[in-house]
Amino acid sequence: MAVNMNGTAVDGALGSATAGRCALRDAWALRNATAEALMRAEDHVRLLVQGATVVDLIALVEAFSPARSPGPEWTRSFEPLVERLWAWCDDETMAALEAEFRARGLPWLAVANDFLPERGAELRKRTRQPAWARFPSFTIG
């Protein structure tokens, strides 16, 4: 007698098929719950970002210091943040972020460049969704 990943016993071919359908149903329910949680998290972050001051946003971006966070983890996490900032913040806020990080010099140049208007136009165009979409097609970081 075989045992499923969830610890239940499976006896014979019919049992395996039935257990497989249960596991698939559970996996689908988990997928739906995860998608719902992600949508709620995105909405919560959007509200916080839209209510944040420029000083708050600078502090958030500072957590992504290239010197403290080298490697693919930095890119994988920072790029989705930049997409969201361009989607949720006005041009004046983004200009203030760009000016702040450009003034910090070479170590922050890549960060400052992500806040240039040309980069924002590119990201806003890429993440544009039809009116029926629940939220923009952001990168998952």
Digits of tens for pLDDT over the chain (141 positions)?
A: 555 555 555 555 555 556 666 789 999 999 899 989 988 998 999 999 999 999 999 999 988 766 665 566 666 788 889 999 999 999 999 999 999 999 999 989 989 999 999 999 998 888 766 555 665 566 555
Whether 20 and 60 map to the same domain: the answer is no
pTM of the model: 0.71
Residue 100, in any domain of the structure: yes
Q: Are residues 94 and 117 in the same domain?
A: yes
Strand partners, 9: 3
Q: Cβ distance 113 to 82 under 8 Å?
A: no
Q: Does residue 141 form part of some domain?
A: yes
Q: Do residues 74 and 133 share a domain? A: yes
CB burial class (10 A; 0-12, 13-18, 19+) of residue 120? Answer: buried
Residue of 94, 92, 97 whose CA lies nearest to 122: 94
Is-contact 123 82, C-beta < 8 A?
yes
Is residue 44 in a domain?
no
Alpha-carbon distance values, 25 to 7, 13, 20, 22, 67 (Å): 16, 18, 8, 5, 45
**Residue 46: inside a domain, yes or no?**
no
- Domain containing 117: what range? 52-141
Tokens coding 36: 């719902």
Residues 12 and 69 in one domain: no
Check whether residue 109 and residue 76 sit in a common domain: yes
| 67 shares a domain with 29 | no
